[in-house]
Chain A
Amino acid sequence: MYRTYVVKHAQKSARVPVRAFSSLNNQLKAWSEIPLAPPDKILGISEAYVADANTNKINLGVGAYRDNTGKPIIFPSVKKAEQVLLELEKEKEYTGITGSKKFQNAVKNFVFNNSNKDPNGKQLIDSGRIVTAQTISGTGSLRVIGDFLNRFYTNKKILVPKPTWANHVAVFKDAGLTPEFYAYYETSKNDLDFENLKKSLTSQDDGSIVLLHACCHNPTGMDLTVEQWDEVLQIIQDKGFFPLIDMAYQGFASGNPYKDINLIRRINELVAQDKIKSYALCQSFAKNMGLYGERTGSISIITESADASKAIESQLKKLIRPIYSSPPIHGSKIVEIIFDEQYNLLESWLSDLDKVVGRLNTVRSKLYENLDKTNYNWDHLLKQRGMFVYTGLSSEQVIELREKYSVYATEDGRFSISGINDNNVKYLADAINAVVNK
């Protein structure tokens, strides 16, 4: 019998109440020994990296793109869109609670209609069965759907892959849901654990919510094949699960965002056949347009009817209004311009993205070439996709890399490979070889 793991109380338990805030209060003494809330792990790594004087130091912590010289980039297409905006924008008034219609339609057409390549998705759009709301990037969309499901969905349990992005668990718990892991990856084999994945999903309660990473699984980079997705979608139908898809890296698997959405197209087909009634999708343009700090993303709910859409949209507005009223406009205007045919920027964006992903793939291969395979099988590196390699190194080995070689990564062995470039790949591989062969 496969055992499901109850997610350990992640951030919250380590969190410190701030009753001490009322330091004038008599309770002061009782709270004076409270430790600080722990800093975010990834941020802690960045801070330690900045403080390190070693000139060979490498930061493999943060999941944001760097070019071959180690610098962040502005997508040239994004820069052009901003120039258009600089010319055109004459005011900064509020957008709607769920963003502008133009943004919502751009997202719908891009993701669900796959720019006229997905007739089932088009049908869903045309029949009013998709409700899209602009959100505070990926985290905000996860939070809004978490709150929404907690309020209105019949089941509070959300199944997340083990491992998953650490903040998934924190966000869903904070929203009142109960996250539990399903099997995903076998660390000892550095491979997807598909048999246990199926078993652990099948053993779960009917009607649970299940979180699926659309592509470039974070942190393992290991995605399901088309056939494997079909098997999982069958389990979802059998168990009546509610699928919640997180798509943070659309385009980073193949270099082409239209190719990376097999899961969406497949699920739209099942919705069209009435085999799956409803699902939700969180996506952001943080990575694939490099709009990280502008907080540009969305939540879409695929509903059972146009009537249901109206109710769901009104509830989303009611939910968002007391949290932040309306989303920020700068990033969403950039997205609107890139998808607006009159500015002719779509092709140049696709080419920008393809270059970014091309570099990541080159770096991945170069790292692989330079690694010593005599004592350790590194083949998983070539199967993984996206911004990360999930090395399989132990936390002790990661710490040794940091302390001896100034290579900074999270202790789960996830390397954000955009921190690698022509100048440091040899140094990094040598460091890893030394640690592994010790």
Chain B
Amino acid sequence: MTVTSKFNRLEREAPDPIVQTMTLYANDPSPNKVDVSIGVYKSEKGGSYLFPCVAEAKKVLAANDPGHNYTNMQGIPEFISGARKVAFGEEYAAEGKLASLQTISGTGALHMGFVFLREAGYTNFYLGVPSWSNYIGMIEFIGSKVTTFTHYNEKTKKIEFDAVVSALESAPANSVFLFQTCCHNPTGADYSQEQWKKIGQLLKQRDLIAVLDTAYQGFSSGDKDKDAWAIRHFYELGLEFVVCQSFSKNLGLYGERVGCVHAVVQDKEYVPNAQSTLVANFRSECSFAPAYGARLASIIFQSPELKQVWDNDVAEITERLKTIRKKVLDILTELKTPGKWDHVVEQEGLFWYSGLTPVQNDRLISEHNVYSTSIGRVNIAGLNNNNVEYFCKAIDEVVRNA
């Protein structure tokens, strides 16, 4: 049969590398195997983790079932108002300068944020690298352009701040700078408050726009308010910017797709324009964001008791991540593993950007059944008291022999 397919332009695409890693892990029969690849929090016991505040909220929701009717196109009002408070704090959230849309979690927030900026005439993006692998594809997907600069120096294992400043100083006016507020993915290297101040100043001076992606709020300091420092500082500076917020990690609501995009509009007269544009754009993509996860989040936002439980959950998780980091450093020091390993405790959040080479990462898998990503990003939460020593010995071996 010689029918030419109407889809003859299609080629078969390779799966996401992380999906390949996860498949290898799933098929590995070794009892010692360690998964430190995908960015999902794991408990000390090594399994999946349901936040206690979410478990409680599920019961509350089941007992007060509102059903599954259509929500608002902007999103569930209680969710929007709670999400604003989490990102901007009570005071600024109440000032009426925000246009917000409930989205399909963080990816959806970024996508709707990028589409919104395109509509407003801003299509020229700057991004510090290395960065989350999806950003560039997402920006180019909607036809905007992206220029990269160095965010992180692989040799010193620290932020390359001169490169950040020089990008801000040289970018044309109206360019968009995409930053992560905390727990940088994949490097774990965050800007200090002094550095944020400098960035804010340059954004203002040079008439640039920022997109602040906040996917791990709370996992840096253990305190969600502290981790939102950059957002609130930019707000105080009178900047106009976009915040893309996800509750995948800090409420563990991954699969429920709970997120929000906010545009800060300093001249309140234009808030309705921004708001109606966000909604109109969403109408032709999704119509509504999913209700269930946002309802769970709203219950937690509105209940002082559950909010307290949530604060404790986040603090405990962060504490565990820090303890594990410390252990990794201690064990590597004890093993006298060649090289300098301080960055494991200097970096923040879920990820340790190990600096291991691709060959060493491959060997971690082939010789030790330890699965990190090919770029050497280790999900610290995949480690626990039972496997941390095994993991460190594996690192020691590959550093010495590969």
Q: Which residues of A contact B (CB under 8 A)?
A: 11, 15-25, 28, 32, 34, 36-37, 39-40, 43, 62, 64, 72-74, 78-79, 82-83, 86, 89-95, 136-140, 143, 152-154, 167, 170-171, 173-175, 207, 242, 274, 277-278, 290-295, 303-304, 308, 310-312, 314-315, 317-318, 321-331
- Cβ-based interface call for B349 (8 A): no
The answer to whether B277 touches A295 (Cβ under 8 A) is: no
The answer to whether B267 touches A153 (Cβ under 8 A) is: no
Contact with A along B248-279 (1 / 0, CB 8 A): 10001111110000010111011011101101
The answer to whether B120 touches A292 (Cβ under 8 A) is: no
For this complex, 7 residue pairs linking A to B, each with C-beta atoms less than 8 Å apart, are A20-B270, A21-B263, A23-B269, A37-B276, A321-B137, A323-B141, A325-B134
Cα A422 to Cα B50 in complex, Å, equals: 46
In the complex, which of the residues B240, B289, B292 contacts A24, with contact meaning CB atoms closer than 8 Å? B240
Of chain A, the residue at the smallest CB distance from B108 is A324
Contact with A along B133-147 (1 / 0, CB 8 A): 010011001000000
Q: How far is the CB of A149 from chain B (nearest CB, A)?
A: 9
The answer to whether B116 touches A139 (Cβ under 8 A) is: no
- Residues from chain A with a CB closer than 8 A to the CB of B68 are 74, 78, 290-294, 331
- Cβ-based interface call for B3 (8 A): yes
- Cβ-based interface call for B29 (8 A): no
User: Known contacts being A22-B209, A86-B58, A304-B3, is A139 close to B285, with CB within 8 Å?
Assistant: yes
Cα A295 to Cα B292 in complex, Å, equals: 10
In the complex, which of the residues A73, A83, A327 contacts B67, with contact meaning CB atoms closer than 8 Å? A73
Add 9 more A-B contacts to A17-B120, A36-B272, A312-B7 (CB < 8 A). Answer: A15-B280, A20-B273, A21-B263, A23-B267, A32-B269, A86-B58, A86-B59, A315-B10, A324-B104
User: Known contacts being A20-B270, A322-B141, is A136 close to B104, with CB within 8 Å?
Assistant: yes
- Residues from chain B with a CB closer than 8 A to the CB of A21 are 116, 120, 240, 263, 265, 270, 273-274
- Residues from chain B with a CB closer than 8 A to the CB of A16 are 273, 276-277
4 closest cross-chain pairs (CB), A and B: A91-B48, A330-B292, A23-B267, A293-B291
Contact with A along B51-80 (1 / 0, CB 8 A): 000100011001001011111010000000
Cα A139 to Cα B282 in complex, Å, equals: 10
The answer to whether B69 touches A318 (Cβ under 8 A) is: no
- Residues from chain B with a CB closer than 8 A to the CB of A174 are 284-285
- Residues from chain A with a CB closer than 8 A to the CB of B254 are 92-94
Give the number of chain B interface residues (Cβ < 8 Å).
81
Q: How far is the CB of A361 from chain B (nearest CB, A)?
A: 22
- Residues from chain B with a CB closer than 8 A to the CB of A290 are 67-68
Of chain A, the residue at the smallest CB distance from B135 is A322
User: Known contacts being A18-B274, A18-B277, A37-B273, is A95 close to B289, with CB within 8 Å?
Assistant: no
The answer to whether B286 touches A295 (Cβ under 8 A) is: yes
- Residues from chain B with a CB closer than 8 A to the CB of A325 are 104-108, 134
Of chain B, the residue at the smallest CB distance from A138 is B287
Tell which of B11-19, B220-228, B309-317 binds the partner: B11-19
Cα A36 to Cα B279 in complex, Å, equals: 12
- Residues from chain A with a CB closer than 8 A to the CB of B90 are none
- Residues from chain B with a CB closer than 8 A to the CB of A34 are 273
Of chain B, the residue at the smallest CB distance from A75 is B68
- Residues from chain B with a CB closer than 8 A to the CB of A175 are 284
In the complex, which of the residues B11, B12, B257, B267 contacts A324, with contact meaning CB atoms closer than 8 Å? B257
The answer to whether B111 touches A18 (Cβ under 8 A) is: no
Cα A412 to Cα B3 in complex, Å, equals: 44
Most chain A C-beta atoms within 10 Å of own C-beta, residue among B59, B70, B266, B277: B70
The answer to whether A324 touches B70 (Cβ under 8 A) is: no
The answer to whether B107 touches A322 (Cβ under 8 A) is: yes
Of chain B, the residue at the smallest CB distance from A32 is B269
User: Known contacts being A37-B280, A292-B69, A328-B255, is A18 close to B7, with CB within 8 Å?
Assistant: no
Of chain A, the residue at the smallest CB distance from B263 is A21
- Cβ-based interface call for B172 (8 A): no
Cα A143 to Cα B253 in complex, Å, equals: 25
Q: How far is the CB of B254 from chain A (nearest CB, A)?
A: 5
- Residues from chain A with a CB closer than 8 A to the CB of B285 are 136, 139-140, 143, 171, 174, 323
The answer to whether A17 touches B293 (Cβ under 8 A) is: no
Most chain A C-beta atoms within 10 Å of own C-beta, residue among B7, B59, B67: B7
- Cβ-based interface call for B28 (8 A): no
The answer to whether B289 touches A295 (Cβ under 8 A) is: yes
- Cβ-based interface call for B31 (8 A): no
Cα A238 to Cα B134 in complex, Å, equals: 43
Most chain A C-beta atoms within 10 Å of own C-beta, residue among B10, B106, B107, B289: B10
In the complex, which of the residues A32, A278, A295, A324 contacts B7, with contact meaning CB atoms closer than 8 Å? A278
The answer to whether A323 touches B108 (Cβ under 8 A) is: yes
Most chain A C-beta atoms within 10 Å of own C-beta, residue among B14, B105, B240, B277: B277
Of chain A, the residue at the smallest CB distance from B8 is A154
Cα A36 to Cα B266 in complex, Å, equals: 17
Q: How far is the CB of B239 from chain A (nearest CB, A)?
A: 8
- Residues from chain B with a CB closer than 8 A to the CB of A274 are 1
Of chain A, the residue at the smallest CB distance from B253 is A92
- Residues from chain B with a CB closer than 8 A to the CB of A318 are 13
- Residues from chain A with a CB closer than 8 A to the CB of B269 are 23, 32
Q: How far is the CB of A93 from chain B (nearest CB, A)?
A: 5
- Cβ-based interface call for B6 (8 A): yes
The answer to whether A277 touches B134 (Cβ under 8 A) is: no
Cα A136 to Cα B256 in complex, Å, equals: 12
Of chain B, the residue at the smallest CB distance from A240 is B6
- Residues from chain A with a CB closer than 8 A to the CB of B263 are 21
Cα A55 to Cα B119 in complex, Å, equals: 42
The answer to whether A277 touches B13 (Cβ under 8 A) is: no
The answer to whether B67 touches A330 (Cβ under 8 A) is: no
The answer to whether A64 touches B120 (Cβ under 8 A) is: no
Cα A36 to Cα B272 in complex, Å, equals: 7
The answer to whether A323 touches B107 (Cβ under 8 A) is: yes
User: Known contacts being A22-B240, A295-B289, A325-B134, is A242 close to B6, with CB within 8 Å?
Assistant: yes
- Residues from chain A with a CB closer than 8 A to the CB of B103 are 324
- Cβ-based interface call for B340 (8 A): no
User: Known contacts being A171-B284, A292-B70, is A304 close to B292, with CB within 8 Å?
Assistant: no
Cα A290 to Cα B104 in complex, Å, equals: 20
- Cβ-based interface call for B40 (8 A): yes
Cα A290 to Cα B111 in complex, Å, equals: 28
In the complex, which of the residues A28, A74, A95 contacts B65, with contact meaning CB atoms closer than 8 Å? A74
Cα A140 to Cα B107 in complex, Å, equals: 15
The answer to whether B120 touches A326 (Cβ under 8 A) is: no
- Residues from chain B with a CB closer than 8 A to the CB of A140 are 285-287
Q: How far is the CB of B141 from chain A (nearest CB, A)?
A: 4
- Residues from chain B with a CB closer than 8 A to the CB of A173 are 284
Cα A15 to Cα B282 in complex, Å, equals: 13
Of chain B, the residue at the smallest CB distance from A207 is B6
The answer to whether A11 touches B280 (Cβ under 8 A) is: yes
- Residues from chain B with a CB closer than 8 A to the CB of A153 are 6-7
- Cβ-based interface call for B290 (8 A): yes
Cα A171 to Cα B69 in complex, Å, equals: 22
Q: How far is the CB of B46 from chain A (nearest CB, A)?
A: 13
- Residues from chain A with a CB closer than 8 A to the CB of B111 are 322-324
The answer to whether B252 touches A92 (Cβ under 8 A) is: yes
- Cβ-based interface call for B9 (8 A): yes
The answer to whether B69 touches A64 (Cβ under 8 A) is: yes
Cα A25 to Cα B121 in complex, Å, equals: 12
- Residues from chain B with a CB closer than 8 A to the CB of A315 are 10, 13
The answer to whether B6 touches A17 (Cβ under 8 A) is: no
User: Known contacts being A15-B280, A23-B270, is A72 close to B119, with CB within 8 Å?
Assistant: no
Cα A315 to Cα B8 in complex, Å, equals: 13
In the complex, which of the residues A40, A136, A322 contacts B286, with contact meaning CB atoms closer than 8 Å? A136
